[in-house]
A = this chain, B = another copy of it.
Amino acid sequence: MEKNICVKISELLKMVKTNKPLVHHITNYVTANACANAVLAIGASPIMADDEDEVADIVSLSSALVLNIGTLNSRTIASMLKAGVKANDLGIPVVLDPVGAGATALRSTIAGRILRELKLAVIRGNMSEIKAISGLGATTKGVDVSAQDIVAAENPDYGKRIAENLASRLNCAVAITGAIDIVAGAGKTYLIANGHSMLSGITGTGCMCTSLIGAYCAVTGDYLSAATAGILTMALAGELAYERLPAEDRGAGSYRVKLLDSLFQLDGEDLLKRGRVREG
């Protein structure tokens, strides 16, 4: 296990709690509330705003911008690109969640435009989404990873290659979340062996993870660590939530509650004691 990265992440968490950075989201209406609460739970301050007439103003006040294409539409696509250009001008990190990329021509096209027109700090998706934006013709199943890609993800070397190629091509950090999470960037790759299967039983845990990455990017220029921090934070909260679940309450409702509690309570000691991050 790499303890150095966990030490680094625990410092980043402390910085988030101290600085309470504003994290601008242009995101979907299904999980916006969960993302706002996740960001608040670790101590940062979320703002969701997507009108083209104000996104440049909002991003100027913010320390990070999260673009999530979960329920993209013509109005918000224009806003995402405008906010992203402004963020790039001001050196504010931009984090992309290419929800459902590969599932429709629209999503693939828009994800492609974002990759070409914006400088990204981090991209986080599941194996199907990252393959799709890498041009590898992924099979997708809506916004969930496809069955084939779940199998593919069991071989970390395969995902590692894809993440590293995309990271190197775009000069940003690329995270593929799955049974083993992979984060590549800056010539280094981390594999994270934390998490819990119930995270995929509730909606929005992928989006929440991306929002947490946004909060961490708001306090450091080391986006590889920020991406690893967001993923480890979500994964550990997912583990702790399950452990805190009374046996008779093992259901999606109670798990959601305990997940937010765990994000709220997570501290540096949890990260150091439980983090299973290794260089891959």
Contacts and interface: CB of A to CB of B under 8 A. Distances in A.
Contacts of A40: 201-203, 252
A75 to B, nearest CB: 7
A160 to B, nearest CB: 27
A142 B47 contact: yes
A167 interface: no
Given A33-B33, A254-B261, A45 B144 contact: yes
A48 B36 contact: no
Given A142-B58, A252-B40, A252-B260, A51 B22 contact: no
Q: How many residues of A sit at the interface, in one of the four size bands?
A: 35 or more
Interface stretch (A104-112, A114-122, A213-221, A267-275): A104-112
Contacts of A32: 29-30
A101 to B, nearest CB: 12
Interface in A70-119: 70-75, 100, 103-107
Contact of A142 (B30, B45, B249, B261): B45
Contact of A257 (B41, B143, B254): B254
A49 interface: yes
A262 B251 contact: yes
Contacts of A264: 201, 250-253
B265 A260 contact: no
Interface in A28-54: 28-34, 36-37, 40-41, 45-51, 53-54
Contact of A37 (B41, B100, B202): B202
A61 B100 CA distance: 12
A124 interface: no
Contacts of A104: 49, 54, 57-58
Contact of A204 (B33, B100, B140): B33
Contacts of A54: 104-107
25 contacts: A28-B48, A30-B36, A30-B48, A33-B34, A33-B203, A37-B252, A40-B201, A41-B201, A47-B100, A47-B142, A49-B100, A51-B74, A51-B106, A53-B74, A54-B107, A57-B106, A58-B142, A61-B103, A244-B248, A249-B261, A250-B261, A250-B264, A251-B258, A252-B261, A254-B257
Nearest to A109: B53
Contacts of A72: 51
A13 interface: no
